[in-house]
Every structure is written in C-alpha cells, then in structure tokens.
Amino acid sequence: MSAGPEIVAPIARGAMLYDASRCSQPAPWIFDHAAWRARGALEATVGGRGTIAFIADDGLRWVLRHYRRGGLVASLLDDSYLYTGAERTRAFREWRLLFQLREWQLPVPAPVAARYVRSGLTYRADLITEELPTRRTLAHALASAPLSRDAWQRVGACVGRLHARGVHHADLNAHNLLVADDGTVFVLDFDRGHVRERGPWEQAVLARLRRSLLKVTGGLPANRFDEAAWSALLAGCEDTQCA
C-alpha cells in the first residue's frame, strides 16, 4: 500500500492500482467490457476496435480504456508491450501522472484504477478514469461552428497551465482537448506524458497541435481555423506563461 489513497493489489499474472477514495476494493472484472455489458452499464464504445468504453452504473460514470498500439507496429504487436517492471507499465505511469495533475487542480480526468496483466515477456494494460463533464472534442466543436476569440484563448490557457507545471503531453491534438458548453477546456490521454523542466519541447507540442487543427479543419469553412484563431490560442497560452 502506498501513501494516501493509492493502493496496489496483486491480481492473477499482474497487479492493479487504484484510488481507494474513488473505487473501494475493486475486482479485476471492472476492466472487462463484457462484464459491464452484462450489467447493462456499457453505454458506448469508441476509438479503434472499441478501445474506449463509457460506463454508467449506479451513479458512477467511468471511462475504460484498453491500451493499444498505433502506427505500423500495431499490426504486429496490437496491445502487447514489453514488460520492464510494474512501475514502468503504461497504465501505472499514466494513472500516477493524472493523480499528480489532479493534485495540481489541472483540468484532466481523475484516475480511478489501472491494471496490467503479464504474458511471458509482455503485458496488456487498462485504465479507468472518471468521465469528464463533456465528450465534445475540439475537433467536433470545430466541425459544428467556429470558435470565438475567447474560446480560442481558453484553449490556449488550458495548454499553458500544463506547460507552466512542466507537463509534457506526448500527443496533444484536436481530439484529446474537450470543450464543455460553459467554455471549460479539458485534456485527455496522457499516455507517455511526463513532467519535465520547461524548454523548447513546449513549442514542439504547440506545433503538433497546430498541425492537428489544420488537418481536422482542412475541408471546413476557412473561419473554423485561421491565423486569428491561432494567435488567440497563443495569447491565452502566453497569459499562463507558456511561451
């Protein structure tokens, strides 16, 4: 058992990490899509091959994500990763990063539980987080209507808050930024993310986000993303000492 609400519990061929204040004495079945479906609590699945499941059960609202590889290597290794120790598993590292970010009151999902299951030299992993107040991604918002200058500044301020704490998001794009109806911006998917000293990497993160915005708005009206929008985003970022 670790300090605070963090608990690590052994399971068959692996281990489970959870926040006792959010999930009291969980069992491995909570990572099983079929089990939730049998309870009538599997609300929806999204992502490649149903990677992400939305759970609604007896007042709780969770998001269950199974780790899968992307790119060319996905066809060979799919959801298998080389095991080099429990603390280095994707699920445990992301759970602990999210826990730290929540302690810093950053707009990210609260981690509930994580697990890994070994198979020889490899492992598979899953992560459960609490669902955020919205599922509307920045990409979806832009597909519907242009954002105001204030909205773009809020997006930039959200990124700036991360960078002000040295939080390096490994794949910041228009699909893992959420925009709520009240204008609040949240950030998802901190797989491979980490905290580091501030530096040139911040500009690389922003450049990656810009490429994503150009891609998702490529076939949309020009007012969905232009230089004025980008300038507003950067202004919001700079207000939080990002740049």
Alpha helices in the chain (DSSP H): 33-38, 74-77, 90-103, 138-144, 149-164, 201-216, 227-239
Q: Which residues sit opposite 42 in a β-bridge?
A: 55
Residue 241: predicted pLDDT = 59
**Inter-residue contact 196 to 166 (CB < 8 Å):** yes
Q: What is the rounded CA–CA span in Å between residue 16 and residue 157?
A: 34
Residue 15 has pLDDT above 60, yes or no: yes
Q: Is residue 3 scored above 50 in pLDDT?
A: no
For the cut 80, the answer to whether the pLDDT of residue 161 exceeds it is yes
Binning the chain into helix, strand and coil, the percentages to the nearest 5 are 35, 25, 40
What is the spatial distance between Cα 113 and Cα 91, in angstroms, rounded to a whole number?
Answer: 9
Round to whole Å and give the CA distance between 161 and 94.
18
The answer to whether 115 and 126 are in contact (CB under 8 A) is yes
Give me the percent of the chain exceeding a pLDDT of 90: 86
SS3 per-residue string spanning 180-237 = CCCCCEEECCCCCCEECCCCCHHHHHHHHHHHHHHHHCCCCCHHHCCHHHHHHHHHHH
pLDDT of 124 higher than 60? yes
| pLDDT for residue 50 | 53
**C-alpha to C-alpha distance for 186 and 169, rounded to whole angstroms:** 13
Token pair in block for residue 8: 């690590």
171, 181, 182, 189: the active-site residue: 171
* pLDDT(2) > 80: no
Identify the pLDDT of residue 1.
37
Prediction pTM value: 0.93
Backbone angles phi, psi at 197, to 5 degrees: -65, 145
CA–CA dist 131, 24 (Å, integer): 18
Q: What pLDDT score does 242 carry?
A: 47
What does the pLDDT look like over 191-218, one tens digit per residue? Answer: 999 999 999 999 999 999 999 999 999 9
Angle at 225 between CA 221 and CA 229, to 5 degrees: 140
Give mean pLDDT, residues 94-105: 97
Burial class (CB in 10 A: 0-12, 13-18, 19+), 241: exposed
pLDDT of residue 110: 97
pLDDT of residue 71: 58
When pLDDT is averaged across residues 167-181 and rounded to a whole number, the result is 97
| 171 included as an active-site residue | yes
Rounded Cα distance, 12 and 190, in Å? 26
Report the pLDDT value the prediction gives residue 77, as an integer from 0 to 100. Answer: 74
Reduce the DSSP state of residue 160 to 3 states and report it: helix
